[in-house]
Amino acid sequence: MSAQSAQSAQSAMSAQSAAPAVSPLLESLVTEITALRPRMEEVSLAVHGRPELKFAEFHARDVLTGWLAEAGFSVTSPVGGLDTAFVAVHAGGHVYKRQRSP
């Protein structure tokens, strides 16, 4: 290993040890979002794949409210005089019960 490579490796190791520790809360959040990503992409593609005119987004409403209900939210629609508007409320606890691999 050349002197320059050794110095670069030492600098990289120093930078890693100087990096702030990641909080358990942040780690948990990243883990949950990573687990939800495939489903979020499905929802996004389902909505994007079927464009709708404003105030007539019935497919988008159905996809989104279905996902929220599946995740344990209480969903109310229509609201505010708009057929496509909805409100989703969760009572707390673990929001999304994903299947864990064995």
Q: Could you report the per-residue pLDDT of 87-100, keeping only the tens digit for each?
A: 999 987 655 555 54
Any residues with CB less than 8 A from the CB of 65 and at least 6 apart, and which? 75, 77, 86, 88
Q: Please write the tens of the pLDDT for every residue from 28-45.
A: 999 999 999 999 999 999
User: Any bridge partners for residue 89, and if so which?
Assistant: 74
Question: So what's the pLDDT on residue 21?
Answer: 81
Question: So what's the pLDDT on residue 102?
Answer: 42
Mean of pLDDT values over 61-83? 95
CB 59 within 8 A of CB 47: yes
Higher pLDDT, 74 or 8: 74
Put residue 80 in one of left, alpha, beta given phi > 0 → left and psi -120 to 50 → alpha.
left
